[in-house]
Amino acid sequence: MKKNWLQKPEWSWNQTEGQPTYVHHWVQPLDKFAESPDLILYGAPISRSSISVSGASLYPTEFRKMWKGYATYNLDEDIDLTSIRVGDAGDVAMHTTDILLSHRRIQESTQALAADYPNALTCMIGGDHSTTACAVRGVKDAHPEETIGILQLDTHLDVRDPAELGPANGTPIRQLIDGNAVKGENVINIGLHGYFNAKPLVDYAKEHKIQMVTLKQARKDGVVKTIQDALERLAKQVDRIYVTVDMDVLDISVAPGVPASTPGGLTAIELFDALLEIGKNTAVRHIDFVCLDPSKDTNVAETVKTGVYAWLQFVTGFACHSNQK
Amino acid sequence: MKKNWLQKPEWSWNQTEGQPTYVHHWVQPLDKFAESPDLILYGAPISRSSISVSGASLYPTEFRKMWKGYATYNLDEDIDLTSIRVGDAGDVAMHTTDILLSHRRIQESTQALAADYPNALTCMIGGDHSTTACAVRGVKDAHPEETIGILQLDTHLDVRDPAELGPANGTPIRQLIDGNAVKGENVINIGLHGYFNAKPLVDYAKEHKIQMVTLKQARKDGVVKTIQDALERLAKQVDRIYVTVDMDVLDISVAPGVPASTPGGLTAIELFDALLEIGKNTAVRHIDFVCLDPSKDTNVAETVKTGVYAWLQFVTGFACHSNQK
Amino acid sequence: MKKNWLQKPEWSWNQTEGQPTYVHHWVQPLDKFAESPDLILYGAPISRSSISVSGASLYPTEFRKMWKGYATYNLDEDIDLTSIRVGDAGDVAMHTTDILLSHRRIQESTQALAADYPNALTCMIGGDHSTTACAVRGVKDAHPEETIGILQLDTHLDVRDPAELGPANGTPIRQLIDGNAVKGENVINIGLHGYFNAKPLVDYAKEHKIQMVTLKQARKDGVVKTIQDALERLAKQVDRIYVTVDMDVLDISVAPGVPASTPGGLTAIELFDALLEIGKNTAVRHIDFVCLDPSKDTNVAETVKTGVYAWLQFVTGFACHSNQK
Amino acid sequence: MKKNWLQKPEWSWNQTEGQPTYVHHWVQPLDKFAESPDLILYGAPISRSSISVSGASLYPTEFRKMWKGYATYNLDEDIDLTSIRVGDAGDVAMHTTDILLSHRRIQESTQALAADYPNALTCMIGGDHSTTACAVRGVKDAHPEETIGILQLDTHLDVRDPAELGPANGTPIRQLIDGNAVKGENVINIGLHGYFNAKPLVDYAKEHKIQMVTLKQARKDGVVKTIQDALERLAKQVDRIYVTVDMDVLDISVAPGVPASTPGGLTAIELFDALLEIGKNTAVRHIDFVCLDPSKDTNVAETVKTGVYAWLQFVTGFACHSNQK
Amino acid sequence: MKKNWLQKPEWSWNQTEGQPTYVHHWVQPLDKFAESPDLILYGAPISRSSISVSGASLYPTEFRKMWKGYATYNLDEDIDLTSIRVGDAGDVAMHTTDILLSHRRIQESTQALAADYPNALTCMIGGDHSTTACAVRGVKDAHPEETIGILQLDTHLDVRDPAELGPANGTPIRQLIDGNAVKGENVINIGLHGYFNAKPLVDYAKEHKIQMVTLKQARKDGVVKTIQDALERLAKQVDRIYVTVDMDVLDISVAPGVPASTPGGLTAIELFDALLEIGKNTAVRHIDFVCLDPSKDTNVAETVKTGVYAWLQFVTGFACHSNQK
Amino acid sequence: MKKNWLQKPEWSWNQTEGQPTYVHHWVQPLDKFAESPDLILYGAPISRSSISVSGASLYPTEFRKMWKGYATYNLDEDIDLTSIRVGDAGDVAMHTTDILLSHRRIQESTQALAADYPNALTCMIGGDHSTTACAVRGVKDAHPEETIGILQLDTHLDVRDPAELGPANGTPIRQLIDGNAVKGENVINIGLHGYFNAKPLVDYAKEHKIQMVTLKQARKDGVVKTIQDALERLAKQVDRIYVTVDMDVLDISVAPGVPASTPGGLTAIELFDALLEIGKNTAVRHIDFVCLDPSKDTNVAETVKTGVYAWLQFVTGFACHSNQK
């Protein structure tokens, strides 16, 4: 593998005898795998690119700490996730003050993982939403000939102007469209609602044909059905789907640790159902979870716990369709 | 306009060039309008009339601070609120220790606004629920010949005895009924549930024919349908409808900043849907939002954010029917 | 009555003139009753038997403090609970360091109450979940000839191995099954979901024929319907039903004061509906509420308030069927 | 005794066998005493007279709850306080909305206690600082022929204009001076520092010859020495000394539960030493502790604990000189 | 070494190249040492033996996490601690529900360490204060022929009756005196103040000739001087000195994470100076730090940071006299 | 004035009639002054250059909000600050993602202010400590011929290597020394203590002859005396003195809102005395206050209040010597 800036995390993996029963016994360092695992996890711990003060850079570490509380067995689906092999590639090394350099490292690391493990899903744990632009470009670099589509679960369009802000957390989708990495019509945003996108941004989205599905509409049609339809539609338009989950899509009452979460957002249950569905779709090759700031979370870590659960739902979905093979 | 005690608030309006895109660019001081605006906003920052310690007096200021985070564009309804002209009349000046004097000023200020701007909706931001009695009397003073009906979204009946407590926050509806400003049968309370109204208060309500709709019943019939029916029924009985939203109608899990909120209350989504519907009804001429105590809110200001969203839903409803004209 | 270790609590009962309107006027010390009351309440304030640090021992006291905020009148069901006579037996005296001794006292006290007041329902306020094993054994001691069934509302199976942990809070159901107090097939667990039970524990449950109903399934069938069916089924299998409500069955967003609550759990409304139904079932003779740690609750005591509401729903259900008699 | 509005508090006194060892075993209800006790305690739970939102009305109840954690034995002085008889007269009944009426009741209750128990010290637990004006007037009513001096431990002069604010918490000293109850030269304020008194207020104080001792000066001379000198000086000028301790005299780092406390204030140790000295002075006949808002305190109740300690130091001082008699 | 129940902690030691500069590079696992280190650290993570709810069992882990923020270089004394070799023996394995068994393991582990490494200082990180009785008995078991003296920094005497409470956290000194492990006259308690020891406990202490030094007296004589004198006196009476630091000796304003800390306690600076002095004394062979509950600490972990600093001061003192050799 | 990137702040200045009595009436926008004011205030709201997550960028706004609570009159010194004219130049405009650009703007803005107002003191409100390097270079650019000395109140040396971290908050003093803007022997650091500077950093400081004064030494000699001596010594070595106050010099118990504050640090009183002395010294021409993160502060804003007080002490010192002229 080329130089890819990935560093061993403050590690929370523990070898155990026999069949692993908890997540920290099951997920293993990437370099422990002789062959490609099914899913590769890596962290992009940067949030100094955030418009407002953010501690989202702390999420990869807290995410791994919290997974000790989760069993590998899903009772609802009666499925044991240990059939899926998950490799943890560690965190991309971030520079203290050079944001552009840090962003390049995320792009290069994603490219390296996507190129070296073409059969594995990649899952990036942010960091703020600026990391998504880097990761998608990295995927594009690894597969330049393929068309990429984005399914975005988000309260915001994230199409603010990088010419004004630089590559900040409000700009990733616009970076990708303006930079020709992804076409606007290949972006579907589900979760928009209320008063959180200024009109000029909506105008940009319309002009570039971003497919906007409001939460109100999604609830009318059923959230799971909406996700299914969106993935099906997208799968016809593109070669591979990148899913980005901005955790601010969640309602503020279930995501106090996401500063940009809002009233009227997705419930945790809705997100869990959506991710189960997403995991089942074979066109989905990449996913990220961003913008969760553990330093703002409650004393019982409600939001980080929800974040781990969300990720496991995606893996469960993947396990469902893998097991059917 | 007669002396009405309204003072410039700690102001949060900012002039902007071109089309305003955020609430603080759109709402303007009342005295900037040559003609009557469509909606007039004013604060009644008193809560020393509250039975238990309350910081609801801080809400008008926090409400205006928080609206900077809200765009004027509503994505669900695909509507731009800037077509509605909103004038901010400031806050009623409160006396430090003379509660009755403060109450009179709220009454006189409301009368002045209702008389001088007969075509505008008024929207009062409390303060505790004692302010509603003052405001309704002010409306009555401005329109003595008209019959007033009240739609009350509230976990409580607020019919405790002013003879015992004075004009405290638990008494407004009883003040109005006993004072002949409003008849009991012209009051509809939606949101009652659980164990939060002692039997003698329910007996009073029954005796005075207050229409009580429990939350359980409202959910069975559909919250929006319940609101529609209530407004339709009330519109036939009265000349103008005053809506009072005691934020304690919300469930405690979505309204930690409302000390009297309870388990089993309205969800934020239900409240937002209700207010959209209320805004659409042309018989509704006055609204208030009371009992939100920002000093008890979470570190991410969940409840104040919900309060601003709720108000915008009302305005969106109003914009929907205005635009249809 | 035999020695039963019950002590007067930090008392919150206040005599009032005339008809009581609030819970603290209505519930009375057990020794005030000439005849058996309808329902007996007692606390089991122990949590040093908890695997992780817990302040659930503080719940009985906080539960009684908070009930002052609750009226005896239920608006949804239009029913006054004062028709039901509730006797408060106080708290079982706990030893500071001898956990086994404390457990024996809970067992003996439960036995004494169940034997001396055979027509009364018993309601135990924990304490951590280890107390349930003691209480069920106490019931068995009082009624050795009867078969006991358990309806468990819980996110966890609580069948960890007492051989390893001693009689800790993760083990009560296994203590009872292994100790032949209750058969596995007479245990129904509703509320299981997600990733919170390791596979070996699920294997134990399957082996012992514990009836597991996932929350996903319960929601598909309707939570109330699921409860009805479960109670009906159980009532055919056993002589008396003991209901144990581990408050960690609640979703973390509505139960921040239950350290083991999780994302994806029961909503408060679902729990309230379930308890109304449970109260209506005549085979239910005993209930407990455990694992709520007030020291972790929010500043507005959201979880303790939910706990009192939950208990009142059970009493309301009981009042509904009592009144029909 | 005349009607004096004193009500039984949420009581925290517990009879014990043998010699009492904790405060709640030692302090007894006033009506339990056949003869006059040495010290009478009473609460004045009002804070709606406060300029900014305050929960100081909650202090009397929290004060009594917290004293359970305090033994009656003082190790530093090797003295047992049980030799002093303390009677708790309960709390003055406050009206919900009529502040002037509440104030009159405090005045009348103080008058009644001072007249009926002329040999007992009185100790009032506020409440905000407006209560001090009432209490001093009550003392004056009981002893109209005597000259009263005030020793004030305070960061503020509290001489704002009642003509503007009414009898609010910033005005008590001015109320008393302008109302001829106390002369300015008979008021000594110790604890002033920094930037917390606007110049016009200092000008008023100078004009009325209030004796201002800055904290800087007090520390230079020694806090205890400063207190001794002040009391000695005052004792020569007046017939009886009333001490008012505004808890905002404390440094913000030791008094987070006093909203008006400031950086640079008195340390807890300095306050404890001062109160020991004050208790020893025989001219001191009355004391109050005001402006502590338990709802702002830390999760370990640091400020309320400090408040109880402070009161006990005063009692210890009194016990020292009583025992010498 | 005999079986001693010591387990590898959630480890926070990291090997580094070259000279270590931070604590986590410097402290090494005990089994890495070929010869005896100078100081052995071990954790006793139990607090279910605490009278009130306590999370002090979490301290050993938090203590080791936090030391990453501390350099090995002390600027005040211009000394590098890396000259001292510190071995971390891990934590004593605790049973979930059998408190007596857990206590025996602490005793046996201490005995093993004291016997196997006779030239090393031992330093135990609690846990609640019940652990001190176990550790002192363990030392006694290892050195049965020697007389042990105790220097106790504590707000409390901790001589409550084990006959009533079992071996709880309020009883260790009495356990040792009544059990003839230590004589009362060989115990010196420094830090007593205020109202935190009931008179019967003081009577016990006097009867058994415990040397009580109040904080007031210590401050009069100088805290460092008081410590020096106490150690000198004790060194003449006994063969080896065991120092126990109950962190509740600290003032509540600097130790919010110690639930039993009180107003009027030791400042952090005073504690740091005392520990530097203690470290310098060659008769001191054992030390422990107990009763710090990280779950109660502030969001910036003020108390845990103070705890690490305190321990480093002891090591610095030891390094000072070692280097002089 | 040249382009200097200074923007109007969220303004908190209010014109008042007559003599100003509060800080927000007294401090005026810089452009209101016809002649140079005596002191110029400006904000440098950047903290994305901080090694760990920091909200110090929020301090300038919170600083100005909080000063409304401060009178212009200092009681200790009996001095009215309104004799000093203070101009607020606003905040330097920061770029969202380009840290180097933001730093250049701070440098240029400082240069512009220092050049255009040569007779005024400048006072910068940070931001993190990286801003100090920018500001000192700006002063050097304005006065290239003068030698600059630095008095640093800090727990840390801040000489980490910019080659590794870029111009982050741990590096400013090293940037200046390595960049030849300031000589090591012209830097005096007061406040160092404990274990917060790794040995290699101390070695760098010694090598470059930075004058290190430990807090222990300062306390032995007297903090004020230490400051006097340092300024006197420095004044002989250099042409102008720049004072940088890293608020982490404060003890963690008085500065919870400074994440890098430590146990054993400066008390607030010591800092206030030091700043009074610093203000009196005529060689001091520039000062900054950095590293206070309001988002970490307590609910009563203890640290921000301390920050405003600290600044006012500096102004008071300046007023003392100005008035003597």
Contact check, Cβ <8 Å, E57/C53: yes
B/e letters for D287-325, b = 16+ CB within 10 Å, e = fewer, are bbbbbbbbbbbbebbbbbbbbbbbbbbbbbbbbbebeee
- Do the beta carbons of residue D290 and residue D247 sit within 8 Å? yes
Question: Which of A63, A67, A71, A69 lies closest to A22, judged by CA?
Answer: A71
- Do the beta carbons of residue D320 and residue D280 sit within 8 Å? yes
- pLDDT at position A1 is 46
CA distance D71 to D150: 30
- Do the beta carbons of residue E61 and residue E10 sit within 8 Å? yes
CA distance E166 to E186: 23
Plot region of A146 (φ>0 → left; ψ -120 to 50 → alpha; else → beta): beta
Residue showing tokens 């005690």: B5
Question: Is residue C1 situated within a structural domain?
Answer: no
Confidence of residue F324 (pLDDT cuts 50, 70, 90): low
- Low-confidence stretches of chain A (pLDDT < 70) are 1-3, 10-13, 15, 324-325
- Do the beta carbons of residue F237 and residue F146 sit within 8 Å? no
CA distance A189 to A150: 8
- Kindly state the average pLDDT of the residues D221-244: 98
Chains that touch A (3 or more CB pairs under 8 A): B, C, F
The DSSP annotation for D139-159 comes to HHHHSTTS-EEEEEE-SS---
CA distance F299 to D252: 12
HSE-CB for A322 with a 13 A CA cutoff: 20
- pLDDT at position F29 is 93
Instruction: List C-alpha distances in Å: D23 to A218, E53, E160, E214, E251.
Output: 62, 22, 18, 21, 21
* pLDDT tens-digit series, residues E146-190: 999 999 999 999 999 999 999 999 999 999 999 999 999 999 999
Burial of A325 (0-12, 13-18, 19+ CB in 10 A): exposed
Q: Does A93 touch chain F (CB under 8 A)?
A: no
- Shortest CA gap E288–chain F (Å): 20
- Low-confidence stretches of chain B (pLDDT < 50) are 1
Contact check, Cβ <8 Å, C197/A306: no
- pLDDT at position F36 is 96
Residue showing tokens 């303390």: D86
The DSSP annotation for B164-182 comes to HH-S-TT-HHHHHHHTTSS
Question: Is residue B284 situated within a structural domain?
Answer: yes
- The contacts of residue D144 (CB under 8 Å, 6+ apart) are none
- pLDDT at position C1 is 46
CA distance D152 to E182: 50
CA distance E158 to C11: 29
Q: Which amino acid is at E211?
A: Q
- pLDDT at position C3 is 61
Provide the token pair at C53. 């640090």
Question: Is residue E202 situated within a structural domain?
Answer: yes
Q: Does E144 touch chain D (CB under 8 A)?
A: no
Query: Which is it for the CA torsion E106, E111, E117, E123, positive or negative?
Result: positive
Nearest to A73 among C197, C259, C263 (CB): C197
Question: Is residue A1 situated within a structural domain?
Answer: no
Question: Is residue C157 situated within a structural domain?
Answer: yes
Find the domain containing D139 and state its range.
6-322
Feature table: binding site of E for Mn(2+): 129, 154, 156, 158, 246, 248
- pLDDT at position F12 is 60
- Do the beta carbons of residue A307 and residue A247 sit within 8 Å? yes
* pLDDT tens-digit series, residues C7-53: 887 666 676 777 889 999 999 999 999 999 999 999 999 999 999 99
Q: What share of chain D is helix, strand, coil (3-state, %, to 5)?
A: 45, 20, 35
- Do the beta carbons of residue C184 and residue C208 sit within 8 Å? yes
Q: Which amino acid is at E29?
A: P
Contact check, Cβ <8 Å, B98/D166: yes
Kindly report the backbone phi and psi dihedral angles of residue B227, in degrees, each rounded to the nearest multiple of 5, phi listed first: -65, -45
- pLDDT at position B1 is 46
CA distance C231 to D218: 74
Higher pLDDT, B314 or F9: B314
* pLDDT tens-digit series, residues F87-143: 999 999 999 999 999 999 999 999 999 999 999 999 999 999 999 999 999 999 999
Mutant choice from F253, F258, F296 vs E, greatest count of E C-beta within 10 A: F253
- pLDDT at position E122 is 98
Q: Which amino acid is at D81?
A: L
Confidence of residue C5 (pLDDT cuts 50, 70, 90): confident
Q: Does D213 touch chain F (CB under 8 A)?
A: no
Q: Does C47 touch chain B (CB under 8 A)?
A: no
Confidence of residue F1 (pLDDT cuts 50, 70, 90): very low
Domain count, chain B: 1
- Which positions in chain A touch C212 (Cβ < 8 Å)? 75
Q: Does D104 touch chain B (CB under 8 A)?
A: no
- Kindly state the average pLDDT of the residues C199-216: 98
CA distance E34 to E307: 29
Contact check, Cβ <8 Å, E53/C51: no
D298 → chain E, closest CA residue: E256
* pLDDT tens-digit series, residues C232-246: 999 999 999 999 999
Kindly report the backbone phi and psi dihedral angles of residue E81, in degrees, each rounded to the nearest multiple of 5, phi listed first: -70, -10
Question: Is residue D1 situated within a structural domain?
Answer: no
Nearest to E97 among C53, C57, C166 (CB): C166
The kind and range of the H/E element at C72 are none
- Fill in the DSSP letter of residue B69: G
Chains that touch F (3 or more CB pairs under 8 A): A, D, E
Nearest to D306 among E199, E256, E263 (CB): E263
- Fill in the DSSP letter of residue D64: H
Instruction: List C-alpha distances in Å: F130 to B16, D5, F256.
Output: 33, 62, 21
- pLDDT at position A11 is 62
Question: Which of F85, F97, F182, F86 lies closest to F133, judged by CA?
Answer: F182
Provide the token pair at C48. 């040093």
Provide the token pair at C192. 């299981």
Burial of C145 (0-12, 13-18, 19+ CB in 10 A): exposed
Length of chain A (residues)? 325
- Fill in the DSSP letter of residue B246: E
User: Residue E18, SS3?
Assistant: coil
- Does position D171 have pLDDT exceeding 60, yes or no? yes
Burial of B206 (0-12, 13-18, 19+ CB in 10 A): exposed
- Fill in the DSSP letter of residue C76: T
- pLDDT at position F2 is 52
Question: Which of D125, D84, D96, D91 lies closest to D109, judged by CA?
Answer: D91
* pLDDT tens-digit series, residues C135-147: 999 999 999 999 9
- Do the beta carbons of residue D264 and residue D194 sit within 8 Å? yes
Q: At what angle do helices A223-237 and A268-280 cross, to 10 degrees?
A: 30
- The contacts of residue B172 (CB under 8 Å, 6+ apart) are B129, B130, B131, B132, B133, B136, B158, B244
* pLDDT tens-digit series, residues C43-99: 999 999 999 999 999 999 999 999 999 999 999 999 999 999 999 999 999 999 999
- Do the beta carbons of residue B207 and residue B116 sit within 8 Å? no
Chains that touch B (3 or more CB pairs under 8 A): A, C, D
Contact check, Cβ <8 Å, A256/B71: no
- Does position D284 have pLDDT exceeding 70, yes or no? yes
- Does position C325 have pLDDT exceeding 70, yes or no? no
- Does position E14 have pLDDT exceeding 80, yes or no? no
- Does position E10 have pLDDT exceeding 90, yes or no? no
Question: Is residue C132 situated within a structural domain?
Answer: yes
Plot region of A57 (φ>0 → left; ψ -120 to 50 → alpha; else → beta): alpha
Q: Does A109 touch chain F (CB under 8 A)?
A: no
Query: Which is it for the CA torsion E165, E168, E174, E177, positive or negative?
Result: positive
CATH number, domain containing residue D76: 3.40.800.10
HSE-CB for A285 with a 13 A CA cutoff: 25
Confidence of residue E19 (pLDDT cuts 50, 70, 90): confident
CA distance F140 to F159: 19
- Which positions in chain D touch B130 (Cβ < 8 Å)? 97
Confidence of residue F71 (pLDDT cuts 50, 70, 90): very high
- Which positions in chain B touch C80 (Cβ < 8 Å)? 199
- pLDDT at position F18 is 79
- The contacts of residue F52 (CB under 8 Å, 6+ apart) are F259
- Do the beta carbons of residue A166 and residue F95 sit within 8 Å? yes
Q: Has A158 been labeled as part of a binding site? A: yes
Residue showing tokens 């069934």: C149
Question: Is residue D286 situated within a structural domain?
Answer: yes
Cα-Cα end-to-end distance for chain A: 30
Instruction: List C-alpha distances in Å: C244 to B186, C6, C125, C172, C274.
Output: 45, 21, 10, 11, 12
- Do the beta carbons of residue C154 and residue C255 sit within 8 Å? no
Confidence of residue F156 (pLDDT cuts 50, 70, 90): very high
Question: Which of B132, B156, B159, B127 lies closest to B266, judged by CA?
Answer: B156
Provide the token pair at F225. 């005396």
